[in-house]
């Protein structure tokens, strides 16, 4: 389904009325599931949490005023079913525990479009299929809500059987706090492809590997692990904070002449046309389905293994422990 001019929605423009009397089932109680469940509860909505086994939940994560039940029972009870288990688990969970309990005009909600875009599940045609995808992890979604703020959320509509799917998505985004910042309209396809690309090219691929490689080069040339870590790791957050709200023009105007000249010259040397070609290949493999086919048979074959020698890693771990423990304790 297409989007219309990327509209942005804010809290003051959204009513909760369309979901006030709905029975909302949260399927899964992990990172996003718990955060969204607690925020919905605190927004005064009727929720139940569906889990495979109550024993699988850590006792400190259980809430006395939330009902926990089997996935099948919650799916039968709810008319807005939020499927927040892992992408890999969704096909089995949906087909064996949810699909047979769906009724006409029910709503199925996702926080990632992966299984819909790649046709790993097929919802019935007589239900709404929507997405509310917060732009941050579950802990951040919960923490920002408790501060009276919110993590922005992407909204998308795949099926609009009822004619009210967008209003439901908007109201849900308001109830979990996202619209306090903004909720913005996209599509399942756009969310899925850009999310996978952002992870692979930058967030969990390019950036961590780039940081580690720069550390490795300094360490192998004899520099102190502590100094190398401060330069290549600690200062990343400081630079991101400089451009996060005001953009790259502000960044380059706020740093020294040396940093600006050296950064632009070496940046263009490192991130060259070949790098851009590789980025395009990554995106192409996401769009044409090659990545998902590869993932299906190899998901457990890759594990992170640091390229930093163990002695340097130990020194870095110690300074991180001291520094961040000090920050948390305020001394």
Which sequence spans correspond to the domains of the chain? 8-186, 205-329
pLDDT score recorded for residue 4: 53
Run means of pLDDT, 10 residues per run, the chain, 331 residues:
70 96 96 95 96 75 84 97 95 97 98 96 98 95 96 98 98 98 97 96 95 95 95 93 93 95 96 96 96 86 88 90 71 52
* Sign of the Cα pseudo-torsion (293, 298, 300, 305, in order): negative
C-beta of residue 136 within 8 angstroms of C-beta of residue 170: no
Q: Quick count: other Cβ atoms within 10 Å of Cβ 313?
A: 16
List the beta strands (DSSP E) in 98-206: 107-110, 128-134, 153-159, 183-185
**Among 1.20.140.10, 3.30.565.10, 3.40.50.720, 2.60.120.260, what is the CATH number of 8-186?**
3.40.50.720
Catalytic residues: 112
pLDDT score recorded for residue 328: 59
Angle between helices 165-175 and 31-42 (to 10 degrees): 90
Closest CA to 173 of 203, 132, 144: 132
Which residue shows structure tokens 């630079």?
A: 239
User: Which residues, at least 6 apart from 192, have a Cβ–Cβ distance to it below 8 Å?
Assistant: 112, 113, 114, 116, 117, 118
pLDDT score recorded for residue 136: 92
pLDDT score recorded for residue 303: 86
User: Token pair of 129, please?
Assistant: 């299929």
DSSP state of 153: E
pLDDT score recorded for residue 62: 76
pLDDT score recorded for residue 259: 95
């Amino acid at each position: 389904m297409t989007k219309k001019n990327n509209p942005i929605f804010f809290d003051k423009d959204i009513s909760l009325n369309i979901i006030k009397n709905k029975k909302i089932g949260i399927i899964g109680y992990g990172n996003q599931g718990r955060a969204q469940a607690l925020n919905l509860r605190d927004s005064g909505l009727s929720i139940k949490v569906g889990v495979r086994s109550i024993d699988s939940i850590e006792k400190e994560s259980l809430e006395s005023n939330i009902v926990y039940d089997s996935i099948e029972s919650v799916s039968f009870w709810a008319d807005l079913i939020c499927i927040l288990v892992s992408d890999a688990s969704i096909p089995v969970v949906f087909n064996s525990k949810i699909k047979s309990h769906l009724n006409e005009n029910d709503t199925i909600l996702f926080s990632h479009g992966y299984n819909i875009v790649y046709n790993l599940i097929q919802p019935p045609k007589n239900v709404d299929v929507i997405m509310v995808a917060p732009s941050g992890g579950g802990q951040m979604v919960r923490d920002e809500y408790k501060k009276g703020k919110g993590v922005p959320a992407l909204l998308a509509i795949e099926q609009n059987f009822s004619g009210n799917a967008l209003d439901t998505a908007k109201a849900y985004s308001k109830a979990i706090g996202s619209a306090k910042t903004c909720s913005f309209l996209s599509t399942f396809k756009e969310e899925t492809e850009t999310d996978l690309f952002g992870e692979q090219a930058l967030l969990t691929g390019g950036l961590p590997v780039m940081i580690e490689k720069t550390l490795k080069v300094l360490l192998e040339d004899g520099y102190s692990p502590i100094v190398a870590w401060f330069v290549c790791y600690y200062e990343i957050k400081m630079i991101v904070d400089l451009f996060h709200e005001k953009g790259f023009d502000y960044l380059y105007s706020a740093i020294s002449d040396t940093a600006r000249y050296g950064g632009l010259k070496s940046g263009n040397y490192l991130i060259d046309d070949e790098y851009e070609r590789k980025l395009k290949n990554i995106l192409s493999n996401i769009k044409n389905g090659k990545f998902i086919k590869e993932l299906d048979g190899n998901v457990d074959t890759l594990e992170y293994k640091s390229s930093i020698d163990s002695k340097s890693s130990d020194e870095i771990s110690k300074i991180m422990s001291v520094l961040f423990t000090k920050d948390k304790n305020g001394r």
